[in-house]
Chain A
Amino acid sequence: MQNHLLTWILFSPTVAALVLLLLPKNRPALLRWFALLSSLVPLGLTLVVWAQFDGSAGFQFEEKVSWYAALNASYHLGVDGISLPMVLLTTLLTPLALLASFNVEERVQPYLFLFLLLETGMLGVFLALDLLLFFVFWEVGLVPMYFIIQQWGGKNRNYASLKFMLFTIGGSLGLLLATQLMGAATGTFDLTELYRIWPRLQTLNLPIGWSIGTVKAVAFWAFVVAFAVKVPVWPFHTWLPDAHTEAPTAGSMILAGVLLKLGAYGFLRLVLPLYPAEAKQFAGWLAGLAAAAIVFGALAAFGQRDFKRLVAYSSINHMGFVVLAVAAAAKASNSAADALSANLALNGAVMQMFSHGLSAAGMFFLVGVIYDRTHTRDLEEFGGLYAVLPVYGSVLMFTTMGALGLPGLSGFVAEFLVLRGAWPLLMVATAISLIGLFFTGAYLLKALYKVLQGPLNERWVGKLKDMNRRELVVIAPLMALMLALGVWPAWLLEMINRAVALWF
């Protein structure tokens, strides 16, 4: 077991999902508790890995077995300081999402089954060190999410789920073709080898009439588009507000908390190391897209009347900072000052991925909590709820502040690092992003004002119950981690920083 810790983490949710199918389907309480408790297994194992992790080394806990030998692709897993925080995020958010789903009454068994499969799909992306295996898990995760939205979603779920699926599959077509191209050109899918071979490849043994530079540039954009759809970066984002709004609460938590990180992780794990030259060449474009995502995301969020849609657009806004950091790192030259800036930006990027995972999951959960009570998400129908729901009000206030980047909470550390790192490298884009940051404050405060402050909407008086114990248990770990990361970020940053320094 010691040597296969990552495999255990990866497949224990699948095993749990299969066992779940054998349990009686008319005992929802049993099913829920089983799913919840079994999802603690990968979390526990992740903590074991975390404890044994050696910050100064590269990939660890590696496992490599021949998988698709005919294509020279292998089952190769490993973690480093970039992927381990993401694994922790996934294994942490899944139990919380399952706990948040305890109020799902309809077809509980398939619902939980899909959630557990989804966890394996997401973990596989973070753990894979083989390009083909990466792609396998990249796509596999789509299926459960599609059905979660399509089966347990809101009114417009058919449209939203199909759009989500076709956007992501369409976006991944280029990635699929580019991985085939790389496999055919180099004869390997192993990432540790591709890192070495692919950037230095000078001749292409394929009958393509273009120069190798053009081919690589096209393949670079194929990768970028696939990941940009997932992050999502403007203008590839239009699936996200629909999917988020229609998804059930726990689905939104995972979608915003983890799935968007898959795209950002793709930038860090694949785009930057495999395409350093192209990334540098097109860094300005990436920065432009990132700045557009930050500004437009914030403006669009400000314009929403639907609470959930507002939070959905805020994800575009926040994830834009990750892409900005990627652009900055791509732009950096070899000089010491540039390297330092790039390093800071990437530290901020991973930190932001983790921090946004906490705050976005928390925000979507809180939207779900209020929706369960009022059956509306229209911001105009709330108002003054602080007086009726003091506990909920405080929790929402805290989480919103975390999302807003209030010093002392995790978002601040992350965004500060990104901006500090990106400023010397991409001054214009960073300046524009700072304007976006202003609107971030504006829309979040608008949401707080509309829900909690202002004149009390009389129709809610005496009708609403405050958060119950289960709901508090869901949100408490998220709040605690936001605070812990804001006050003492070193426990996470140390690990990220070493990995980033090793890589870039």
Chain B
Amino acid sequence: MFPLLSLIIFIPLLVGVILLALPEERRGWIRGLALVGALLTLVFSLVAYFGYDVSAGGYQFQERMPWLPALGIGYHVGADGISLPLLLLGGLVAVSGVLVSWRVEDRPREFFAFLMFLVASVQGVFASLDLFQLFFFFELAVFPKYLMIVLWGSPKTRNYGGMKLTLYLFLGSVVSLVAALAVYFGSGLHTFDLIELQQAGLAKDFQYFWFPFLFIGFALLSGIFPLHSWAPDGHVAAPTAISMLLAGVEMKVGAFAALRIAIELLPEGARQWAWLILLLGTMNVVYGALIALVQKDFKYVIGFSSVSHMGLVLMGFATLNADGLLGAGMQMFSHGVMTALFFAVVGMVYDRTHERDISRLGGLVQRMPWAAVGFIIGGLVSMGMPGFSGFVAEYPIFMGVWRVQPVAAVVAALGILITSGYILLVVRRVFFGELPAALEQSGGSGRKVGMQRIEDVSWMDKVVIGMLALIMIGLGWFPALMTPWVQSGVQAVLAVLGGGQ
């Protein structure tokens, strides 16, 4: 059988290793190879996505191999309707990340190699059907993440942001690892295989006790309130492509693992603690939006908007019903694409203006119309505007929340209004109005470079903006391009949840 999922995981890993072996001065080769690696990942994830038999459902493209049979650890990959959109997301963001980093001047070899390792790690998590293996890929991300932030990040905050992000994530993974080991021993099956562990039938009290550790440990990576403050700091400090991957894909890794491991292995625990997740998710939505509203830094607005939007994913999980989970699955993809676009545009603006202070930006639509349009489309998705992917994702989440706790739906709806406020304000202040004189003249050393100083984005940037924007618009008008996949995945989750009763 064709090892599709293994290729999706190991192509970027292999490309990363080869990149490190290439001579440093061959920049063209380095970038080209990184792009090829990312494109192959995307192509194979597309093949997997469209090759998946939705009507059959379940885990497909499975591959398994014993690895440490004595401990019950195996190499086991498979994809279902929940993970396929995320694999696709990983491929999309990988390609976009490489394209917007095309002009990285500082040690491009290491930059692209680490980027590839990060891609391999997230794809590995999405495809894992073995608990140990999942943790392996989960942790594999730590070192490229940390290094990329502190080496290529924005000089002022990269040490603080990188350290904070890494320590928080360590905390999360330690907590969830302990809980996962508890599940391993508690099941008495001596296996880390997820499909077998799902059948373990763990005692209720056991589930009640361990669920919060397992869930919160993973959900920390998706920025769950009140453990979210690393996310904006870390994402803002990171270089553009890494912000895109971290906020766009890594946050989904946390949410995905929380669903796949915590909820599917401990369904009774999930039922018991759903109210808490719903509460925290609602806090994420409203609090994150409010904090985004008062930010003065362009990139921090987006950093906090991610916290707000991931709250909707958590709310969707907490409903434990078909609508809410469907919406959460859609929102994971939609938010990933949206926030990747956001961070890409923020990076393009910063590269050209060297400025992130909103009050010193303005009028950029005159110089970089593509970036402006891209940001506006991302903003409309963010506002949950109908006709874009955010709406078709958020709507079912809200319907699901109505079925369990109407108050939360009403409170979270405030987040939509606040989001509209900060998005419209940021769009107006950064892209419209007058171009500040400082930007007009900056960089002028005698020559009249002011006019050329801020130039339009490159054609590669345009490819990224166009591709991501089209996906969000397409999904907004044709939700059926994704809902059947997610629905089939949700059916499996619901079966697990129902089985516990």
**Partner-B contacts on A (CB < 8 A):** 66-71, 132, 135-140, 143, 146, 150-151, 158, 162, 165-166, 169-170, 173, 176-177, 180-181, 183-184, 205-208
Contact = CB atoms under 8 A, between A and B. Distances in A.
Contacts of B403: 184, 205-207
Among all A-B residue pairs, the 9 with the closest Cβ atoms = A136-B386, A184-B402, A70-B483, A139-B386, A180-B398, A184-B399, A140-B387, A169-B420, A68-B479
Interface string B224-257: 0000000000000000000000000000000000
B326 interface: yes
Nearest to A71: B396
B487 A165 contact: no
A176 B387 contact: no
B386 A180 contact: no
Given A136-B386, A184-B399, A166 B380 contact: no
Interface of B: 323, 326, 380, 383, 385-387, 391-392, 395-396, 398-399, 402-406, 409-410, 413-414, 416-417, 420-421, 424-425, 428, 432-433, 479-480, 483, 487
B403 to A, nearest CB: 6
Given A135-B386, A139-B386, A140-B386, A68 B480 contact: yes
A183 B385 CA distance: 18
A334 B331 CA distance: 48
A70 B396 contact: yes
A207 B407 CA distance: 10
B406 A70 contact: no
A181 B403 CA distance: 9
Contact of A181 (B402, B417, B428): B402
Contacts of A135: 386
B197 to A, nearest CB: 29
Given A180-B409, A184-B403, A162 B428 contact: yes
Contacts of B483: 68-70
Contacts of B391: 136
A70 B479 contact: yes
A208 B387 CA distance: 30
Contacts of B396: 70-71
B480 A69 contact: yes
Determine which residue in A66, A151, A173, A205 has the highest number of CB atoms from chain B within 10 A of its CB, and name it: A173
Contacts of A66: 480
Contacts of A70: 323, 326, 396, 479, 483, 487
29 contacts: A68-B392, A68-B483, A69-B483, A70-B323, A70-B396, A71-B395, A136-B386, A136-B387, A136-B391, A139-B387, A140-B386, A140-B387, A143-B380, A143-B385, A150-B432, A151-B432, A162-B425, A166-B417, A169-B417, A169-B420, A173-B416, A176-B416, A177-B409, A177-B413, A180-B395, A183-B399, A184-B399, A184-B403, A207-B403
Most buried by B among A132, A177, A180, A208: A180
A49 to B, nearest CB: 24
B348 to A, nearest CB: 20
Contacts of A139: 385-387
Nearest to B421: A166
Nearest to A181: B402
A455 B424 CA distance: 46
Contact of A71 (B323, B405, B410, B416): B323
Nearest to A139: B386
Contact of B420 (A71, A136, A166, A207): A166
Q: Which of A70, A139, A165 is packed against the most chain B CB atoms within 10 Å?
A: A70
A181 B398 CA distance: 9
A207 B406 CA distance: 7
Contacts of B404: 207
A176 B479 contact: no
Given A150-B428, A177-B398, A177-B410, A169 B386 contact: no
B136 to A, nearest CB: 34
B404 to A, nearest CB: 7
A207 B408 CA distance: 12
A197 B233 CA distance: 50
A362 B405 CA distance: 49
A70 B479 CA distance: 9
A180 B398 CA distance: 7
A366 B406 CA distance: 49
Given A169-B383, A180-B398, A180-B402, 6 more contacts: A71-B399, A162-B424, A165-B420, A166-B424, A176-B416, A207-B403
A132 B403 CA distance: 18
A181 B406 contact: yes
Contacts of B399: 71, 180, 183-184
A146 B402 CA distance: 31
Contacts of B413: 173, 176-177
A176 B416 CA distance: 10
Contacts of A158: 428, 433
Nearest to A121: B387
A140 B477 CA distance: 12
A67 B483 CA distance: 11
Nearest to A165: B424
Nearest to A70: B483
Contacts of A180: 395, 398-399, 402, 409
A207 B395 contact: no
Contacts of B432: 150-151
A368 to B, nearest CB: 23
Contacts of A184: 323, 399, 402-403
A150 B387 CA distance: 21
A356 to B, nearest CB: 27
A136 B479 CA distance: 13
Among B380, B395, B405, B421, chain A packs the most CB atoms within 10 A around the CB of B395
